[in-house]
Amino acid sequence: MKTYGVIMAGGGGTRFWPLSTKAEPKQFLNLSGKESLINETIDRQEGFIRKEDIFIVTNEMQVSLMLARTAGRIGRDHVLAEPAARNTAACIGYAAMEILRKYEDGVMCIFAADHHIRDKAAYTRTMQEAVRTVQKTDALVTIGILPTFPSTGYGYMRHAPKKGQLYHEVEEFVEKPDEETARAYLAAGRYAWNSGMFVWKASTILDYYRKLLPDVYECLARIGDAMGTPEEQEVLHRVYPTIPKISVDYGIMERARGVLMLEGDFGWSDVGSWDTLDSVRKKDARGNIASGDTLLMDTDDCVIYAGEKLIAAVGMKDTVVVEGRNAILVCPVREAQRVKQVVETLEKEGRFDRL
Amino acid sequence: MKTYGVIMAGGGGTRFWPLSTKAEPKQFLNLSGKESLINETIDRQEGFIRKEDIFIVTNEMQVSLMLARTAGRIGRDHVLAEPAARNTAACIGYAAMEILRKYEDGVMCIFAADHHIRDKAAYTRTMQEAVRTVQKTDALVTIGILPTFPSTGYGYMRHAPKKGQLYHEVEEFVEKPDEETARAYLAAGRYAWNSGMFVWKASTILDYYRKLLPDVYECLARIGDAMGTPEEQEVLHRVYPTIPKISVDYGIMERARGVLMLEGDFGWSDVGSWDTLDSVRKKDARGNIASGDTLLMDTDDCVIYAGEKLIAAVGMKDTVVVEGRNAILVCPVREAQRVKQVVETLEKEGRFDRL
């Protein structure tokens, strides 16, 4: 049975503004100093998925940029273009339908385009295990990450750990907790981070859609029926924007029986914002993460990303300084999440020259 | 008797790096948001000096930029080009010699190119008074600024205040004091800031050079003898670089008898660095000075100068953020003086692309 990869890469990704912009979303950024997140994601699967079996789902506007930036890794027919953003259930369902109708049923591994994984060998072993299980069963496997700190930035899955078993049943999906709750989760030892990585058969997930998300399924079926016909694009553009907006977590994972959690412990992070950049990039001896042409004097625990200019930081502490193509951000590290407010303000003011 | 203006504008001026650079020294910056410092300096004299009687002394490299930026205010023959920087005694002596040999003796008013004056009317009245006195006497008049705060950034002149008199005798020139000393000076009421503005006759100051700085005078005389001859440039380039380097304060003012201090109270400041910018530019309600395209959220007491990019500052306090053409500076306001160290480091490393 074939193993496919499906990378969800449609995000506008402005959490790394002003480095990430509408024209250059997060997945294209080279935050690690090695490769872009999208190319790292593609290359990371080489141990268990053939490159020609990887699909990328993105939006129409990003297709040509995606092909350019992935530099021959992915063929045009494996870049699926959503006519509209309809949340993850639509996105995954579309990919599953494409696989079933144009290729053959197989194991689908779902990834986000903007995660970082430190230990690739451990990652490959975990994913190989998940693929083996899904090949033999109709399980919906979700990868739960062993938490290493009380993160308030991730969703959690409560599970019942069973000694000697690889897989645990998920009892509950819980939203991002506050700090105190996160500490309690970490101490309890039965909460894992919800990585958003899933493994299942294309046919299995569509069966679940039919049962649990019939409205979504009906749309996908109409799109699937047109696949390979001259009407494919017309139907896709007419129907896709009407697919109910729902996430696969909420629509399927929280409601399906048979969800198995496989524990992952491979240095996963979702590279959420400037304040969590240390997950992808080593700090220097003074706690700084510096990229590009920088000159640091008496500067500690800062994140400094220079673009075409030199950034000279003198006597700075705990501050993010980022030079993008159209804008410069300066804020305390602990307030880096507020970049969202900046982006919202600029959007409200129609300042697209700065986005 | 004619009144001349002599503006000393040769500075490399990197205290406002990265806005000021070697290619764009401080005097060309528009820090006030209205006009460049050099043009403000020229225009400020209109109440008592005719524009065609103003000279600018600068270095050879800056002549064409100077002519372009002063936009017709100053003719080519009134821009004196120093072949080398030899401190202020050489600079002022050269201008005095030029005036005496090519024009006619008259009152010379000496200014720096990068000072700011808030109350132009009061300034004009003070300077008119100085000019009147110098027309009638051989006095060396220096403008002493009534201190308004215990500045550690200026030199001081101790003087003996005499009731009912406009002019005071200078008893001592003192260097930039430490904070405690500066407070004592302010309390004592007999210390004025040394503004570096002087008024005297061209013939008078050259007489003082002959007596007090004979080596400097001898060079200037050789240059003066060649003025108007085909050898003028050749002699200037040969002799000028050999003029002893000494300031007019140290070489003349501290040693001459007959130095009179005229008190000035017209909102003078020398716009020294990013942390004293409030002398030329009003703060907003939150204590920020912002220029260019900026977006400030919960930001207080900052100095934010944007160039071609937007600068978004979120949650910042007491910080300087300046985008120049080739570099960006970020530092606490109270450490703004350390820009000097940055510039020195870049010079040492030969990074002239960033200077």
Give the pLDDT confidence of A107-142 residue by residue, as tens digits: 999 999 989 999 999 999 999 999 999 999 999 999
Identify the closest residue of chain B to A305 by CA–CA distance. Answer: B328
Percent of chain A scored above 90 by pLDDT?
86
Q: What is the pLDDT of residue A13?
A: 66
For B326, which of A309, A315, A335 is closest by C-beta distance?
A309
Task: Determine contact: B19 vs chain A, CB below 8 A.
Answer: no
Cβ-contact B333, B305 below 8 angstroms = no
Identify the closest residue of chain B to A352 by CA–CA distance. Answer: B310
CB contact under 8 A, B341 and A314: yes
Neighbour tally for B165: CB within 10 Å: 11
Neighbour tally for A102: CB within 10 Å: 11
Cβ-contact B137, B113 below 8 angstroms = no
Task: Determine contact: A108 vs chain B, CB below 8 A.
Answer: no
A275: which 2 tokens? 């304040």
Q: What is the pLDDT of residue B44?
A: 96
Residues B17-35: pLDDT tens digits?
Answer: 999 988 888 899 998 888 9
Residue A110's identity, in one-letter code, is I
CB contact under 8 A, B311 and A332: no
In eight-state DSSP terms, residue A149 is S
Confidence band for B197, pLDDT divided at 50, 70 and 90 = very high
Task: Name the CATH architecture for the domain at A2-269.
Answer: Alpha-Beta Complex (3.90)
Q: Is the whole-model pTM more than 0.95?
A: no
The interface predicted TM-score of the complex, written ipTM, equals 0.84
B204: which 2 tokens? 């008078």
Exposed, middle or buried by CB within 10 Å (0-12, 13-18, 19+), for B180?
exposed
CB contact under 8 A, A328 and B310: yes
| pLDDT digit string (tens) for chain A, length 355 residues | 999 999 999 776 678 999 998 888 889 999 888 899 999 999 999 999 999 999 999 999 899 999 999 989 999 999 999 999 999 999 999 999 999 999 999 999 999 998 999 999 999 999 999 999 999 999 999 999 999 999 988 999 999 877 788 899 999 999 999 999 999 999 998 999 999 999 999 999 999 999 999 999 999 999 999 999 999 999 999 999 999 999 999 999 999 988 999 999 999 998 878 988 888 888 999 999 999 999 999 999 999 999 999 999 999 999 999 999 999 999 999 999 899 999 999 999 999 899 8
- Of A260, A265, A261, the closest CA to residue A147 belongs to A265
- B323 to chain A nearest CA, in Å? 9
CB contact under 8 A, A342 and B297: yes
Chain B CB contacts of A324 below 8 Å? 309
Which neighbouring-strand residues pair with A144? A194, A263
CA B1 to chain centre: 25
Confidence band for B295, pLDDT divided at 50, 70 and 90 = very high
| Whole-angstrom distance, CA of residue A339 vs CA of residue A304 | 15
Q: What is the pLDDT of residue A163?
A: 77
Cβ-contact A332, A320 below 8 angstroms = yes
Which neighbouring-strand residues pair with B314? B297
Task: Determine contact: B321 vs chain A, CB below 8 A.
Answer: yes
Confidence band for B322, pLDDT divided at 50, 70 and 90 = very high
- B308 to chain A nearest CA, in Å? 8
A333: which 2 tokens? 């590290």
Which neighbouring-strand residues pair with B2? B106
Residue B163's identity, in one-letter code, is K
CB contact under 8 A, A309 and B323: yes
- B276 to chain A nearest CA, in Å? 17
Task: Count CB pairs under 8 A between chains A and B.
Answer: 113
- For residues B74-83, give the mean pLDDT: 96
- Of A139, A143, A189, A197, the closest CA to residue A162 belongs to A189
A140-145 and A191-201: which strand pairing?
Answer: antiparallel
Q: What is the pLDDT of residue B263?
A: 94
CA B206 to chain centre: 21
Chain A CB contacts of B328 below 8 Å? 306, 309-312, 321, 323, 328
Whole-number average pLDDT of chain B: 94
Confidence band for B244, pLDDT divided at 50, 70 and 90 = very high
- Dihedral sign of CA atoms B254, B257, B258, B261 in order: positive
Backbone angles phi and psi of B23, in degrees to 5: -80, -15
CB contact under 8 A, A295 and B339: no
Chain A CB contacts of B313 below 8 Å? 330-331
Confidence band for B152, pLDDT divided at 50, 70 and 90 = confident
CB contact under 8 A, B330 and A311: yes
- Of A20, A32, A114, A27, the closest CA to residue A281 belongs to A32
Q: What is the pLDDT of residue A32?
A: 85
- Of A100, A81, A89, A102, the closest CA to residue A233 belongs to A81
Chain A CB contacts of B309 below 8 Å? 323-324, 326-328
Exposed, middle or buried by CB within 10 Å (0-12, 13-18, 19+), for A24?
middle
Delimit the CATH 3.90.550.10 region(s) of chain A: 2-269
- B307 to chain A nearest CA, in Å? 10
For A321, which of B330, B342, B346 is closest by C-beta distance?
B330
Residues A69-106: pLDDT tens digits?
Answer: 998 999 999 999 999 999 999 999 999 999 999 999 99
What torsion do the CA atoms of A314, A316, A322, A323 make, to the nearest 10 degrees? -20
A136 to each of A103, A139, A170, A204, A335, how far by Cα in Å? 20, 9, 20, 12, 47
Percent of chain B scored above 70 by pLDDT?
99
Crossing angle of helices A214-226 and A232-239, in 10° steps, is: 160
Cβ-contact A213, A89 below 8 angstroms = yes
| Whole-angstrom distance, CA of residue B213 vs CA of residue B208 | 7
pLDDT at B13 over 70: no
